[in-house]
Amino acid sequence: MGLTLTEKIIKAHIVDGEMIKGTEIGLKIDQTLTQDATGTMAYLQFEAMGVDRVKTERSVAYIDHNTLQSGFENADDHRFIGSIAKKHGIWFSRPGNGICHQVHLERFGKPGKTLIGSDSHTPTGGGIGMLAMGAGGLDVAVAMGGGAYYITMPKVVKINLTGKLNDWVSAKDVILEVLRRLSVKGGVGKVMEYCGEGIKSLSVPERATITNMGAELGATTSIFPSDETTLAFLKAQGREEDYVELSADADAVYDEEVNIDLSKLVPLAACPHSPDNVKSVEEIGQIKIDQVCIGSCTNSSLQDMRKVAHILKGKTVHPDVSLSIAPGSKQVFNQIAEEGTLSILIAAGARILESACGPCIGMGQSPNSKGVSLRTFNRNFLGRSGTKDAEVYLVSPETAAVSALTGVFTDPRTIGEMPPYVMPERFLINDNMVVAPASVEEAPSVEILRGPNIKPFPINKPLSESIESAVTLKVGDNITTDHIMPAGAKILPLRSNIPAISEYCFTVCDETFPKRAKEAGTSIIVGGSNYGQGSSREHAALAPLYLGVKAIICKSFARIHRQNLINNGILPLEFVNESDYEKIEQGDEIVIANIREIVKNGGKITVEDKTKGFLFEAKCELSERGKGMMLAGGLLNFTKETK
Ligand code: MIC
Ligand code: SF4
């Protein structure tokens, strides 16, 4: 029986377990990446592991999230990451060099390799045939130390693309269509593997737009084959030698199949406040808009910038609209500057931002009150833009640019012929903003530079015999990590300071939660389905841990967040009967008796709601390793125990 591309890469990297779907497997990781907002914690954890030098083929530390330096905190963190990278064999991409995923795709990613990153959009690397996955910072630290990365052996979904996109319909519309069909939960436990005739007409950056936003499906990752298009891209990056041809066997067996005829797609938009709330631009109608933001790791390639410039050329941004544009990398920025594309954008009135995440993570450009903002980004969760009552829509760069001119939601197909994109034979290659690590000989003398904002991270205690605690918070379905641990310009500088950042935990849902949790001492949180979707931020586990959260009981979890909870010794419980969710109320006193014994030796988990006087059943499926982590109070304790 033939193998899918996903299975081929897994087969070449499996170091623990067997390729049986639904079981836990350990993978050797070839490359890692971190970004600054999750990086400080990941490197503190790496330090705690006591490994001198990374054991991967390539590890890169990027600075791209916390680039608004309105206090000393972010700059201090950048310095810390730069110094620790130098000491331990990690390449350091300086602020200004671009967004981690865009730069990694351009300069470091390799087909057939495994990559994990402390950022949920690491699957961008699937655009060149990598098995690239988002992970918690601690998992990345372990992989840097040479440890395996554990996932559930995924199901593989064939996304069969046929036909060709019509003018002004783009890769963003493809992934929006997938989200429309499958929802933000549709990819959980699965890898989305793209194939079919239709992929031939998609460039590497277009493929990367699709794999990037595959994160919004909750998928383990998404991947394209490595073919002539990949080779041409790598050649233009001066990295021809990194090319290997890779695809699924002709007789590969997939678990599911989705067919998409590219020629039938139309411009789409994800409406507030979820990436799967997708409608066609036509259907949405000409609603008035206040802001347009173009950029982010989803849509900031040279191809995107050129299309936008073509639309804006010789025109002026509508008087009621603020348009910002952030090119994804220094390479893209430099190229558009040299060829004159940048000057077209400036002349039209675009506000040019540095190559970084920027508005995507609420680092500036928050919309006006009740503002309607069109963004080429990948997430439009409530409050993420920094304006709680803003209405954020996710669209293609084409829809964004046209609408910026008209001041209303506009279908880009109304503007005539689309010019072809001709990829440069050679991109502007200049890695002068990537600092090489110190040599083995020099490393011991490299001093680690720590600022006062960097506080030690909390470490859990071993799991107690029983958990007895109040439900200090009850939330609904699809709670994102942006609800649990919001980001934005004000809160992100506290990423290295768990006590301080905990003050904002869950404040999107309930401003009084941190105080209540602290007063209670220990807490249980009750949630709906897909709890913890979105980012990989470990802070969504670390802050609750600091606030005394012992267990989460919900209908289902998102993959990375569940792992982050286990890594930090917080018990992830699921209702056996979802209807029990309705019966529990915030404030109820809960007892989970004998839990240590049950985690260790198995058995039924019975939860008592003492306040309501009823019992219900919960489950917690853990691998042997997962059990070890839960009992020890997290991965770090577990690693120490098993050393
Ligand atoms: C995001 O897009 O939500 C982030 C910010 O990049 C996060 C990481 C973080 O919270 O630092 C992610 O996607 O993992
Ligand atoms: Fe940065 Fe936004 Fe991409 Fe996250 S989604 S890595 S914040 S650009």
Instruction: Please identify, among 374, 396, 411, the residue that sits at the C-terminal boundary of a domain.
Output: 411
In a domain, 472, yes or no: yes
The total number of structural domains in the chain stands at 3
Average pLDDT score, the chain: 97
Is residue 433 very low, low, confident or very high in pLDDT (cuts 50, 70, 90)?
very high
pLDDT digits 0-9 by tens, 29-81: 999 999 999 999 999 999 999 999 999 999 999 999 999 999 999 999 999 99
Asked whether residue 230 falls in the same domain as residue 110, the answer is yes
Same domain (yes/no): 313, 251: no
Task: Characterize the bridge pairing of strands 278-280 and 268-270.
Answer: antiparallel
552 shares a domain with 507: yes
For residue 67, give the nearest of 322, 335, 365, 351 by alpha carbon: 365
User: Can you tell me the distance from the alpha carbon of 118 to that of 495, in angstroms, rounded to the nearest whole number?
Assistant: 13
pLDDT of residue 305: 98
Q: Does residue 375 sit in the same domain as residue 255?
A: no
Q: Which residues line ligand 1 (CB under 6 A)?
A: 37-38, 65, 119-121, 134, 361, 379, 487, 534-537
Do residue 142 and residue 227 come from a single domain?
Answer: yes
Amino acid occupying residue 189 = G
Counting ligand 1 atoms within 8 A of each CB, the residue from 216, 392, 481 with the most, and so the one to mutate, is 481
Please give the torsion angle defined by the CA atoms of residues 72, 77, 82 and 83, in that order, rounded to the nearest 10 degrees: 90
Task: State the residue range of the domain holding 566.
Answer: 467-642
Counting Cα atoms < 13 Å in the Cβ hemisphere of 205 gives 27
Length of the chain: 643
Residue 277 lies in a domain: yes
At 472 the pLDDT is: 98
| Residue 216 to residue 86: CA distance in whole angstroms | 33
- Asked whether residue 643 carries a pLDDT value surpassing 80, the answer given is no
- Residue 1's pLDDT band, with cuts at 50, 70 and 90, is confident
Residue 55, exposed/middle/buried by CB under 10 A (0-12, 13-18, 19+)? middle
Atom of ligand 1 at shortest distance to CA of 378?
Answer: 2
Angle at 572 (CA atoms; ends 571, 573), nearest 5 degrees: 105
Given 244, 264, 284, the domain boundary residue is: 264
311 domain-assigned: yes
User: Does 80 share its domain with 161?
Assistant: yes
Q: Has residue 82 been placed in a domain? A: yes
To test the pocket of ligand 2, the residue of 216, 360, 375, 485 to mutate (highest count of ligand atoms within 8 Å of its CB) is 360
In a domain, 456, yes or no: no
Put the strands of the sheet holding 14-16 in their side by side order: 14-16, 24-27, 149-152
The residues pairing with 375 across neighbouring beta strands, listed in sequence order, are 293, 394
User: Residues enclosing ligand 2, CB less than 6 A?
Assistant: 65, 99, 119, 121, 296-297, 357, 360-361, 377-378
- Together in a domain, 577 and 513: yes
**420 domain residue, yes or no:** no
- Give the contacts of 194 (CB within 8 A, at least 6 positions apart): 159, 161, 207, 210, 211, 222, 223, 224, 225
Q: Identify which of 93, 92, 77, 91 has the alpha carbon closest to the alpha carbon of residue 44.
A: 77
- Same domain for 474 and 565, yes or no, is yes
498 plus 562 within the same structural domain: yes
Q: How confident is the model at residue 470 (pLDDT cuts 50, 70, 90)?
A: very high
Q: Do 186 and 310 lie in a common domain?
A: no
- Cβ-contact 537, 505 below 8 angstroms: no
Per-residue buried b or exposed e for 266-278, using 16+ beta carbons within 10 Å of the residue's own CB: ebbbbbbbbbbbb
Whole-model pTM?
Answer: 0.98
607 and 524 in a single domain? The answer is yes
As a 3-state breakdown, the chain gives helix, strand, coil percent values, each rounded to 5, of: 35, 20, 45
Chosen domain end from 411, 426, 449: 411
Q: Residue 598's pLDDT is what?
A: 97
Query: What pLDDT, in 10s, does the model give residues 191-211?
Result: 999 999 999 999 999 999 999
Segment holding 567, helix H or strand E: helix 559-567
The CATH number linked to 399 is: 3.30.499.10
pLDDT tens for 359-418 read 999 999 999 999 999 999 999 999 999 999 999 999 999 999 999 999 999 999 989 889
CATH of the domain at 535: 3.20.19.10
**398 vs 411: CA distance, rounded Å:** 9
Residue whose C-alpha is closest to residue 347's, from 377, 325, 373: 325
Measured distance CA(65)–CA(488) in Å, rounded: 10
Give the closest residue (by CA) to ligand 1 atom 7. 535
| Pick from 339, 412, 379, 4: nearest CA to 195 | 4
- Residue 639's pLDDT band, with cuts at 50, 70 and 90, is confident
Residue 442 in any domain: the answer is: no
Mean pLDDT for the stretch of residues 469-498: 97
Nearest protein CA to atom 6 of ligand 1, as residue: 119
Mention every residue, 6+ apart, whose C-beta is less than 8 A from residue 338: 428
Q: Are residues 242 and 377 in the same domain?
A: no
461 is a domain residue: no
- Cα–Cα distances in Å, from 165 out to 161, 460, 497? 10, 51, 47
